[in-house]
Each structure stands twice: as structure tokens, then as C-alpha cells.
């Protein structure tokens, strides 16, 4: 990948949110972005391969680099939103008004215990737009702005609810992401409005009327290079604002709105080979990165297929299924498995194309069904109960069952398509499912990468995994199904059955469900918003839940009243735990499969989120959500539970937390039953620690605070207080004060901004102890702690320390070496008070050439005054979408009075344990009269740096980063 002085190719920040600033108070740090499935964990980590799987880049959004808006932006919105506060109070104690900190318009307006409007016979679109027009102080949309709204979709779900979305269009160009969404019941009651539409759009577009300097092809190439790939040679065709290439790539002109205004840009979809399938937004004038999203979520006619897995007690024996009779293949199909919703082949070279030796003839002969599975005895795990389908020690042994493997994958995916389309799930073409008629069948790459390694087997990037990439409706998703058990690894090193994920229904159904969730939890323009650690964890949980619901509902897997029976991935893990616990583990259950890695007995609660797998990670952290969903299934039965869970996705706000999605499930019941089951739903979630007072800041918060209470009743009260400087005692003006967990963002419910006297008031608060009460002042450290709100009113005063390095308090970057990767991750982000952004640099030369010799990089910070330093506070984490090994390892901090003469004040080495949180460092000397601070990055956190670079699989061989440095002291 080339790196120029204009930018770091197109580097990006990860999905670490500003919540990590609360790490010290909340007990830990935020998680780095987890954009693709790593190898699943069973009894131990898979290993044995001589080459490690490569790290990959995470997500980035220039609109909200920390997955939500920064606290400073939110404070400005709150300070100007007196009308919104009054409006929110009018909705009652369970009203939600969440303002977007970039646009100042609502990201969400709704109620949990009622509808926004009464029944109406008007059209659903008229009801929604009428409400917007009736509340101009909140929505801020003029007649001109309303004229930019173009109806994109209005589909009706099985409950009769209209799900409506409008995109904003100016000069024939759509706005990316922002727009308007509405949900209206069949009786004409407005449930919610979402989308953060852009106000003043027409005038902003006029100021950006210059022709795009970058071509569609240039944007496509830039996007591919950003993710370490290369745009493939293919013919292109342009129609209107969109260019499409023969390999499926596309580039479309869009508007992109950030806090600094509107930008003309290109939205691209690129498949750069293998699993490098991403969506980008590239600035059309500068070529800079505005948005990156990893789309990969990491699992004649008579065919022999199995419904579960080879050897399973039920559904483990091959039987005949006619693929044409079931209308999965057209009647004249002969040579290719190109069906009505799935196109399948064996993509053994991982080029994502069906080459001649990779396609499978339609099964069935005049004498019988095809293709019989041949078993192998290639591991101690192979048995009649867990049939092995290849031998990792024998070159090309996967070829024996290639036809069977592809055909079985085609059958399972086609069957699951039909199942999801039926009530109560009702994932239909109108809702965005995958069908050839709609131009987006699932492209199923069975045996993906089976021939990419040495000796006719898979390499380390194509084993013990499966994934599904899901672009917006109308573009085909790609499902990549890998072999399990790494060649050259012993059973002790790799505890997986030598098998294929296309033969495991639980894994294939898991991957397919990523398509369901990514098509239902979307913004107004149809792009998935499952971006953060919380949303991503629910994505994995939904996939496990829907897969196992199917298998249990069809009697293929057991689920009695006893806990600990429902096991995802049982085949590849030979009956052992594939996740850390079974899905049906109730809180405090005693089953052997309901014990956490730390020995804790019983199912998970919300506070376990960061520790389930040892650290925050979407698969393990998601287990608490999967278990909560199974609780709903047990309480309501599968039909009603599935209806609520699916409808809640359609009602969800963008990039939801688990508390947001809990709210959406409450609302789904409000639509379905008039709220008759609200108490049961609250009981289920409160039992799992997701009660009314649970604390979470945003979707990127990996350390939520749990609570076990249902919503209180009775009168609301207020929180008042004063925020003052800890050292001087002077008032801190413009500080944002809010309760985490109520509304998705900071500029909405339960929030206020301090005045010139440092005082604040938050009204309409229900009494109780809230898990996260947060104070963030410009130029000050962030404070956060639980707060007890009493019925008669509560006074809560705070005294944060002045952070002399903070840009918002007068700190400036006086100098640095290495390349400047502004605006995505330049040196200024090291002092912006946000752990969602950071300073990214190269490990070696300024061109980003991978190396095993670090060229030390430094940043010089000028403080607004000379101070006596009492401590430094550093988050050395990876940023810019780089993987964890890019975090700073060895470091040195120097101080100076004049910016010329420097002396060491602290030095040491950070490890993975320091990522995602601040580490407080006391100066060892040279702390008096300091006006300049220099931070040195002396090495990345690449294990065994000298031998694992430059040819290794670690991103730290190329880039070294740090997230934030704070300087505390007195004048």
C-alpha cells in the first residue's frame, strides 16, 4: 500500500468510542474495533499453523470518529436545545429525544410506554411528515429541507407496521447516512422518528458545487489500497451518478455531512480479493477517507444433504432433497448451482469467482441422488458422531468431498432463506432479503481458500472460520465457508474436527443471519449501522440465536427444561463448548456448560460484557445478549419471541447499545400487544443486568454498568450541581453532564451543560442509582461514577483536574516527526480528549514500508502555561482502524521549559493490558517549569518484533499509534 504525504493511504480510527475516557471510573477500557470473525474459540485457541492469520483494518466514520459525537460537540447541541428539552419533557418519563451532535437534529424521537401520536386514517408518510412539521424547534427542517426528502422505502411488516425511510437529495446526489426514518403502526400511530436529517442542506450544497476532482475509478482504487488490496481489472459502466464494474464493485456520488460541513464524495463497494470486502466513502476533492466499514461478519436435482451435521443424532444422515422441486434451482439448471436465492461454488483459490474447476454440476442422475459424503479418520476427534470430511495432512484431500460440500451449503442456505421469509420472522424481499430476482443472491464460496496454502491445503487465513459480508439491499452478499483444523497442527494445538463449515448447519445459519441483522438495522439510506462493540456483539448473538432456534424448533437439537443444552458449533468442536457457555444458561444455573472462563457459576449478566472471553470481543461479549434472547423465547414461546426480536431490529436506532435494543423490544411489544407484556420484558432484561438504571455511554462502551431494576414509578426529580477546577476551585463552564444509558447519544435525555458559574440542572429524572453519571469539561479530564438520585432532588458537585495538554484547554501540537496523516489520524488527535481518535504514524520510514527496525516517532505538545507536572496519563492504543499490534509498546516522555532543551521525565513499556484505557504515570524527574511535553513512540506491540516483521501478519510492522496523552499539574 502506498502512503503519501496527503494521507495514510486512507487510514481510519477504530470503533473504540469516547467511552474509553471513562475507563478509570468504570473499571477498564474500551474495545478495539472487531470487524471480522477471528477463529472461534473452543476448548483452546486453534494453532499449529506456521503463519498467523493477518490482522485487518476496522471501521471509521468522520462524522463521529468515536462511534458517537465527541462530548464537545454534544455540549454545544445541548446548550442550544432548550426547545428540545421542553419537548422531551412533554413526552413523559420514558420519552426519548436523542439529538445528533453534527446536525443538531434528532437521531431518535420516541417513547417506551406509548406512541407519539394517536390513531389516524392518514397515510403513514403523511403522519410522519406532519409530526416533523408540527415540531420545527426540534427537527429544524425548513420547507426547503423537506423538499430534499425522497422516499426510499415504505414496507409493511407482519404486524402491519410501516417502516419508512427518506433519503435527502440535492442536485441529483444523495446524502450518505443522514435522512429520515419513521415507524407507524397499522392504526396510524407514530412509534418513532430517526435519521438525523441535515438542516440547511440546499445552501450547504451550493457552497460545495465544484466538480469532483477524483474520478469514480480513482475512488475505487483508493478504497482498495486502503484495505491492503488492489482494484481488479474489470470493465466499467456508468449510469447517472453510479459506476459499476463487471466484478461487482461500484462507486456512487454522494454528499457526506460532517461537523465541519458538507463534502462531495464517492461511496464505494470494493471486493479487493479474499475477505477484503468493504464499503468506503472517499472525499471527491481530496481523496481522503470519510468512512470505512468492514462488510465481513465473522460462519437432475436430487441431492444428498443433511439437515444438521455429519454424524448428528438427528439430521446427521444424508437424505435426498430435490433442489428443483423446492424451486431453489430453475427447471433447466444443469451445470451450475445458480439458484433463486443462492449461487454456490468451491472458491478454493479465494478469488471470489467461479472458475471452471470450482463449479459443481447440478446433482441427480437417472439412477439416483448425488453426492455421497466420504468420511476420513484424520484426527482423534473423528467418530461416528462427528464425521471428518478431509485430512489436513494429505494434500488436496478436500477434493474428495468438494461436490458434496458445495451442494450441502447450497441446500442449507436456500432452505434458511425460505425459513426466514416465513412468519414470524418475515424477512421478505420488501424487507431486504437476498434473491436473484432482486439482484442480490447470496454468493456462497464453499471450501473458501482450501488451496491457498502449501501442499494443497488452506493457509492460516482460510481455516477455522466462516464469514458473511452484507452490502446494502440490491448488492449480493458473499458467504465464505472455510475448512476447520489447520494443516500441520496437532489435536492439542487445534481442537477442531477436520471438517467444513458448509456441513455445519449451525455455522452456516449463523453466517446467514448476519445478512438479516445487517439488512434490518440500517440508516435512512439503507447502510447497516452495526458498527460498534455493543452493536457488533448483538450481531453475533442474533446469528447464534436464530441458528439455534431453527435447529431446536425442528427437533434437530435438544432443549428441555434443563439449562445448558443449546450449543452453537457443536460439530466442529466435537461436542465441546464452541462459545464459553451454552445459550440456554439461566442466571445462577448449575449446569457444567454454564460456567464462565473465570469459574463463575451461572449465565451472564450485562456487567460480564468485558470479561466473558477475557477481554471485550464481539463473539464472547455477545453471549449475554444471546442468553437474554433465549430467556424471551422461554417466557413467550418461540413464535412471539421471534416476532418481537425481529421487529425490534426494524425499530432500532442506529448503532444501538444493548439497552437501545432492549427499548426497541419493549416498543415491538407495544405495537403487537399494546404493551401488555412490558413488565415481563423488563423483568427478563433486569434479570440480565439491563435494568432501568444500567449505565452505558454509547455503542462503543465495552464496560457497561449493570442494574437489576425495572422502571420505577412515581414523580420525577432533578439533579443539580456545580463543576469546579480541582486545583483552583474556579467554575468550569461549558461542561457536558449526562446520565449514560438513557438515549443513545449524549445530546438528549438526562443531559445538561454548565453555565458560566459552573452550575447545571437536569430535570425530569426518575429517582434511583444510575450506573454512569459523566462530567466532561473542555480542557479537563473526564469523570464518571455511579450517582444516587433521590426523590426530593439531588446535588452532585464535581471537581475535575485540568488537562494542560488538551487542545480544548489551550494545548497545541508544536511539532512532530514522521508522516502527517491528517485529517483522519494526525498528531492533533493525541490531545483532543477523545479515545475514539488518536495519532497514527509509521513504524519505519514515512512511506509505511513494513520493517523490523523502528524509526522512533515523537509529538511535541506546548502547554498554555508553564506548570509543575504531577502526572501524565496515556492511552497507547491502536487507532486509525489499525490492529492491536500497532499500539505503542516502548515509550519515553520528555519535558522542556523552552521547547529546545529536553530531559526524560518518564519511560517504560506498554503491553496489551494497557490498551483502551488511561495509564497514570508519575514523572521520575524534570517535572517543574514544564511548558513542553514530548512523547516518543519507540516500538509497536508486535510480539517478537525483530522476527515477526516485516513479513509477518502484524499491522504493527507498518504502523505505530497512540490514542491520547493527558498532562496534569499546577501552575
Residues 49-84 pLDDT 10s: 333 456 777 788 888 754 334 566 777 777 777 777
- The predicted model gives 289-310 an average pLDDT of 87
Q: Which of 911, 874, 879 is CA-nearest to residue 893?
A: 874
Q: Which residue has the higher pLDDT, 344 or 52?
A: 344
- The predicted model gives 30-48 an average pLDDT of 29
Q: What pLDDT does residue 745 have?
A: 53
The Cα 951–Cα 851 span in angstroms is 8
Which are the contacts of 188, defined by CB distance < 8 A and separation ≥ 6?
A: 117, 119, 120, 121, 122, 124, 127
CATH for 18-30+804-970 is 2.60.120.260
Residue 351 has pLDDT above 50, yes or no: yes
Q: What pLDDT does residue 22 have?
A: 28
Cell of 178: 443522514
- Segment among 48-62, 78-92, 434-448 with least mean pLDDT: 48-62
Three-class secondary structure of residue 295 per DSSP = coil
Which of 8-17, 105-114, 224-233, 296-305 is predicted most confidently?
Answer: 105-114
- How far apart, in Å, are the Cα atoms of 178 and each of 100, 196, 634? 10, 6, 38
The Cα 860–Cα 347 span in angstroms is 50
- The predicted model gives 185-207 an average pLDDT of 95
Condensed to tens digits (0 to 9), the pLDDT of residues 610-658 reads: 999 988 889 999 999 999 999 999 999 999 999 999 999 999 999 999 9
CATH for 302-530 is 3.10.170.10
Q: What pLDDT does residue 916 have?
A: 82
Give the residue range(s) of CATH 3.10.170.10 domains in the chain. 302-530
**374-380 long-range contacts, CB within 8 A, separation 24+:** 374/400, 374/401, 374/404, 375/310, 376/400, 376/498, 378/485, 378/498, 379/485, 379/491, 379/497, 379/498, 380/491
CA 675 to chain centre: 30
Q: What pLDDT does residue 748 have?
A: 61
Give the residue range(s) of CATH 1.10.390.10 domains in the chain. 536-687
Helices and strands (H and E) in the chain: how many: 17, 39
Q: For residue 746, name the pLDDT band (cuts at 50, 70, 90).
A: low
Query: 402-427 b/e with 16+ CB inside 10 Å = b?
Result: bbbbbbbbbbbbbbbbebbbeebbbb
- How far apart, in Å, are the Cα atoms of 891 and each of 451, 658, 761, 911? 42, 37, 42, 11
Residue 808 has pLDDT above 60, yes or no: yes
Q: For residue 445, name the pLDDT band (cuts at 50, 70, 90).
A: very high
Q: For residue 714, name the pLDDT band (cuts at 50, 70, 90).
A: confident
Tell me the average pLDDT of the chain. Answer: 89
CA 255 to chain centre: 23
What is the phi-psi region of residue 179: left when phi exceeds 0, alpha when psi lies from -120 to 50, beta otherwise? left
Give the residue range(s) of CATH 2.60.120.260 domains in the chain. 18-30+804-970
Q: For residue 185, name the pLDDT band (cuts at 50, 70, 90).
A: very high
DSSP string spanning 735-760? -EEEETTSSSSSBSTTEEE--TTSEE
Q: What pLDDT does residue 275 have?
A: 82
The Cα 115–Cα 543 span in angstroms is 30
- The predicted model gives 924-929 an average pLDDT of 96
The answer to whether 404 touches 371, Cβ cutoff 8 Å, is yes
Q: For residue 7, name the pLDDT band (cuts at 50, 70, 90).
A: very low
Q: For residue 728, name the pLDDT band (cuts at 50, 70, 90).
A: very high
The percentage of the chain sitting over the pLDDT mark of 70, rounded to a whole number, equals 92
Q: Which residue has the higher pLDDT, 240 or 298?
A: 240
The answer to whether 633 touches 584, Cβ cutoff 8 Å, is no
Q: What pLDDT does residue 53 have?
A: 59
The answer to whether 895 touches 927, Cβ cutoff 8 Å, is yes
State the DSSP H helix or E strand holding residue 669, giving kind and residue range, or none if neither.
Answer: helix 658-673
Residue 4 has pLDDT above 50, yes or no: no
The Cα 782–Cα 800 span in angstroms is 7
Q: What pLDDT does residue 825 have?
A: 86
Residue 743 has pLDDT above 70, yes or no: no
Cell of 649: 431490529
Q: For residue 35, name the pLDDT band (cuts at 50, 70, 90).
A: very low
State the DSSP H helix or E strand holding residue 667, giving kind and residue range, or none if neither.
Answer: helix 658-673
Condensed to tens digits (0 to 9), the pLDDT of residues 457-489 reads: 999 889 999 999 999 999 999 999 999 999 999
Which are the contacts of 640, defined by CB distance < 8 A and separation ≥ 6?
A: 424, 672
Q: Which residue has the higher pLDDT, 132 or 83?
A: 132
* Residue 278 half-sphere exposure toward CB, CA atoms < 13 A: 34
The Cα 487–Cα 456 span in angstroms is 10
Q: What pLDDT does residue 54 have?
A: 63
865 CB burial (10 A radius; 0-12, 13-18, 19+): exposed
Give the helix, strand, coil percentages of the chain, each rounded to 5: 25, 25, 50
Give the Cβ contact number of residue 898 at 10 Å.
10
- Segment among 66-75, 213-222, 357-366, 532-541 with least mean pLDDT: 66-75
Which are the contacts of 568, defined by CB distance < 8 A and separation ≥ 6?
A: 506, 510, 544, 547, 548, 578, 579, 583
Cell of 806: 488538551
Q: At the fourth CATH level, which superfamily is domain 536-687?
A: Neutral Protease Domain 2 (1.10.390.10)
The answer to whether 303 touches 363, Cβ cutoff 8 Å, is yes
Backbone φ, ψ for residue 541 (5° rounding): -65, -45
Residue 31 has pLDDT above 80, yes or no: no
Q: What pLDDT does residue 304 have?
A: 96
- How far apart, in Å, are the Cα atoms of 82 and each of 186, 336, 762? 33, 62, 12
Which are the contacts of 828, defined by CB distance < 8 A and separation ≥ 6?
A: 807, 813, 822, 839
Q: What pLDDT does residue 70 have?
A: 59
The Cα 465–Cα 274 span in angstroms is 13
The partner residues of 338 in beta bridges, in order of sequence, read: 343
The partner residues of 723 in beta bridges, in order of sequence, read: 798
Residue 321 has pLDDT above 90, yes or no: yes
Condensed to tens digits (0 to 9), the pLDDT of residues 865-912 reads: 999 999 999 999 998 878 889 999 999 999 999 999 999 999 999 999
Q: For residue 20, name the pLDDT band (cuts at 50, 70, 90).
A: very low
Of the chain, the end-to-end C-alpha distance in Å amounts to: 46
Q: For residue 9, name the pLDDT band (cuts at 50, 70, 90).
A: very low
Q: What pLDDT does residue 40 have?
A: 30
Q: For residue 604, name the pLDDT band (cuts at 50, 70, 90).
A: very high
The position carrying cell 427542517 is 141
The Cα 553–Cα 666 span in angstroms is 24
Which are the contacts of 945, defined by CB distance < 8 A and separation ≥ 6?
A: 852, 854, 889, 939, 956
The percentage of the chain sitting over the pLDDT mark of 90, rounded to a whole number, equals 75
Q: For residue 25, name the pLDDT band (cuts at 50, 70, 90).
A: very low
Amino acid at each position: 500500500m502506498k502512503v503519501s504525504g496527503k494521507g495514510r493511504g486512507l487510514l481510519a480510527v477504530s470503533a473504540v468510542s469516547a467511552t474509553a475516557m471513562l475507563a478509570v471510573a468504570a473499571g477498564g477500557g474500551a474495545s478495539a474495533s472487531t470487524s471480522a470473525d477471528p477463529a472461534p474459540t473452543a476448548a483452546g485457541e486453534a494453532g499449529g499453523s506456521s503463519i498467523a492469520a493477518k490482522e485487518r483494518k476496522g471501521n471509521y466514520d468522520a462524522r463521529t470518529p468515536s462511534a458517537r459525537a465527541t462530548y464537545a460537540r454534544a455540549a454545544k447541541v445541548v446548550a442550544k436545545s432548550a426547545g428540545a428539552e421542553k419537548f422531551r419533557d412533554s413526552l413523559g418519563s420514558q420519552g426519548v429525544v436523542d439529538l445528533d451532535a453534527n446536525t443538531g437534529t434528532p437521531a431518535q424521537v420516541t417513547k417506551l410506554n406509548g406512541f407519539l401520536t394517536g390513531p389516524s386514517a392518514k397515510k403513514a408518510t403523511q403522519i410522519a411528515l406532519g409530526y416533523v412539521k408540527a415540531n420545527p424547534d426540534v427537527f429544524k427542517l425548513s420547507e426547503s429541507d423537506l423538499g430534499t426528502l425522497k422516499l426510499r422505502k415504505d414496507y409493511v411488516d407482519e404486524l402491519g407496521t410501516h417502516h419508512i425511510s427518506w433519503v435527502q437529495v440535492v442536485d441529483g446526489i444523495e446524502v450518505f447516512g443522514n435522512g429520515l426514518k419513521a415507524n407507524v403502526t397499522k392504526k396510524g400511530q407514530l412509534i418513532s422518528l430517526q435519521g438525523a436529517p441535515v438542516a440547511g442542506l440546499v445552501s450547504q450544497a451550493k457552497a460545495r458545487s465544484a466538480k469532483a476532482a477524483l474520478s469514480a475509478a480513482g475512488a475505487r482504487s483508493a478504497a482498495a489500497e486502503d484495505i491492503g488490496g488492489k482494484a481488479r481489472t474489470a470493465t466499467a459502466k456508468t449510469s447517472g451518478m453510479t459506476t459499476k464494474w463487471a466484478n461487482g464493485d461500484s462507486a456512487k456520488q454522494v454528499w457526506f455531512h460532517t461537523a465541519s460541513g458538507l463534502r462531495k464524495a464517492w461511496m464505494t463497494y470494493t471486493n479487493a480479493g479474499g475477505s477484503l470486502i468493504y464499503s468506503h466513502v472517499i472525499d471527491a476533492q481530496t481523496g481522503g477517507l470519510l468512512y470505512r466499514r468492514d462488510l465481513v461478519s465473522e460462519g437432475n436435482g436430487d441431492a444428498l444433504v443433511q439437515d444438521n451435521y455429519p454424524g448428528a443424532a438427528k439430521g446427521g444422515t444424508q437424505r435426498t432433497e430435490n433442489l428443483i422441486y423446492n424451486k431453489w434451482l430453475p427447471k433447466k439448471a444443469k451445470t451450475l448451482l445458480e439458484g433463486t436465492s443462492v449461487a454456490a461454488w468451491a472458491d478454493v483459490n479465494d478469488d471470489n469467482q467461479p472458475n471452471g474447476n470450482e463449479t459443481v454440476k447440478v446433482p441427480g442422475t437417472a439412477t439416483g441422488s448425488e453426492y455421497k459424503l466420504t468420511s476420513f479418520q484424520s484426527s482423534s476427534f473423528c467418530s461416528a458422531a462427528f464425521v471428518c470430511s478431509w485430512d489436513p495432512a494429505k494434500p488436496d484431500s478436500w477434493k474428495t468431498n468438494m461436490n458434496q460440500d458445495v451442494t450441502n451449503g447450497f441446500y442449507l442456505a436456500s432452505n434458511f432463506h425460505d425459513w426466514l421469509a416465513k412468519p414470524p420472522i418475515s424477512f421478505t424481499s420488501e424487507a431486504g432479503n437476498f434473491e436473484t430476482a432482486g439482484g442480490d443472491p447470496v454468493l456462497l464460496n464453499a471450501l473458501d481458500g482450501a488451496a491457498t496454502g502449501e501442499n494443497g491445503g488452506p493457509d492460516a487465513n482460510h481455516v477455522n472460520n466462516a464469514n458473511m459480508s452484507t452490502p446494502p439491499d440490491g448488492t449480493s452478499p458473499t458467504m465464505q465457508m472455510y475448512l476447520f483444523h489447520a494443516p500441520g497442527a496437532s489435536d492439542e494445538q487445534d481442537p477442531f474436527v477436520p471438517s467444513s463449515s458448509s456441513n455445519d448447519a449451525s455455522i452456516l445459519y449463523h453466517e446467514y443471519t448476519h445478512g438479516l441483522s445487517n439488512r434490518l438495522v440500517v440508516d435512512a439510506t439503507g447502510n447497516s449501522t452495526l458498527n460498534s462493540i455493543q452493536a457488533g456483539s448483538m450481531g453475533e448473538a442474533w446469528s447464534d440465536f436464530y441458528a439455534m432456534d431453527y435447529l431446536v424448533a425442528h427437533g434437530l437439537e435438544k432443549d428441555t427444561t434443563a439449562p445448558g443444552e443449546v450449543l452453537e458449533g457443536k460439530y466442529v468442536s466435537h461436542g465441546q463448548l464452541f462459545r464459553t457457555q451454552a445459550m440456554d444458561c439461566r442466571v445462577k444455573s448449575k449446569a457444567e456448560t454454564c460456567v464462565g472462563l473465570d469459574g463463575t457459576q451461572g449465565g451472564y449478566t450485562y456487567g460480564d460484557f468485558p470479561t466473558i472471553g477475557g477481554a471485550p470481543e464481539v463473539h464472547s461479549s455477545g453471549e449475554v445478549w444471546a442468553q437474554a434472547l433465549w430467556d424471551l423465547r422461554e417466557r413467550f414461546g418461540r413464535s412471539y419471541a421471534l416476532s418481537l426480536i425481529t421487529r425490534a431490529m426494524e425499530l432500532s436506532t442506529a448503532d444501538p447499545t444493548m439497552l437501545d435494543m432492549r427499548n426497541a423490544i419493549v416498543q415491538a411489544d407495544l405495537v403487537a400487544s399494546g404493551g401488555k407484556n412490558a413488565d415481563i420484558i423488563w423483568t427478563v432484561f433486569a434479570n440480565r443486568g439491563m435494568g432501568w438504571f444500567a449505565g452505558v455511554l454509547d455503542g462503543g462502551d465495552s464496560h457497561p454498568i449493570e442494574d437489576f431494576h425495572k422502571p420505577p414509578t412515581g414523580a420525577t426529580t432533578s439533579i443539580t450541581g456545580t463543576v469546579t477546577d480541582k486545583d483552583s476551585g474556579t467554575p468550569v463552564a461549558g461542561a457536558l453532564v449526562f446520565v449514560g444509558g438513557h438515549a443513545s447519544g449524549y445530546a438528549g435525555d438526562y443531559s445538561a451543560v454548565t453555565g458560566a458559574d459552573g452550575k447545571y440542572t437536569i430535570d425530569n429524572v426518575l429517582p434511583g442509582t444510575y450506573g454512569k453519571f459523566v462530567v466532561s469539561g473542555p480542557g479537563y479530564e473526564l469523570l464518571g461514577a455511579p450517582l444516587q438520585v433521590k426523590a426530593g432532588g439531588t446535588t452532585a458537585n464535581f471537581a475535575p483536574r485540568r488537562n494542560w495538554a488538551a487542545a480544548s484547554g489551550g494545548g497545541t501540537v508544536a511539532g512532530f516527526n514522521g508522516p502527517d496523516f491528517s485529517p483522519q489520524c494526525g498528531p492533533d488527535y493525541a490531545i483532543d480528549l477523545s479515545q475514539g481518535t488518536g495519532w497514527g504514524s509509521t513504524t519505519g520510514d514515512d512511506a509505511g514500508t513494513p520493517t523490523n527496525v523502528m524509526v522512533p516517532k515523537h509529538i511535541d505538545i506546548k502547554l498554555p502555561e508553564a506548570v509543575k507536572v504531577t502526572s501524565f496519563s496515556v492511552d497507547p492504543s491502536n487507532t486509525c482502524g489499525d490492529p492491536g499490534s500497532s499500539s505503542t509498546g516502548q515509550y519515553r516522555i520528555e519535558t522542556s521549559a523552552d521547547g529546545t532543551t529536553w530531559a526524560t521525565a518518564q519511560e517504560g513499556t506498554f503491553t496489551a493490558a494497557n490498551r483502551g484505557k488511561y495509564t497514570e504515570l508519575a514523572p521520575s524527574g524534570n517535572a517543574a517549569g514544564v511548558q513542553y511535553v514530548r512523547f516518543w513512540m519507540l516500538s509497536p506491540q508486535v510480539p517478537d518484533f525483530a522476527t515477526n516483521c516485516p513479513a509477518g501478519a502484524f499491522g504493527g510492522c507498518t504502523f505505530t499509534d497512540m490514542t491520547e496523552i493527558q498532562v496534569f499539574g499546577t501552575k
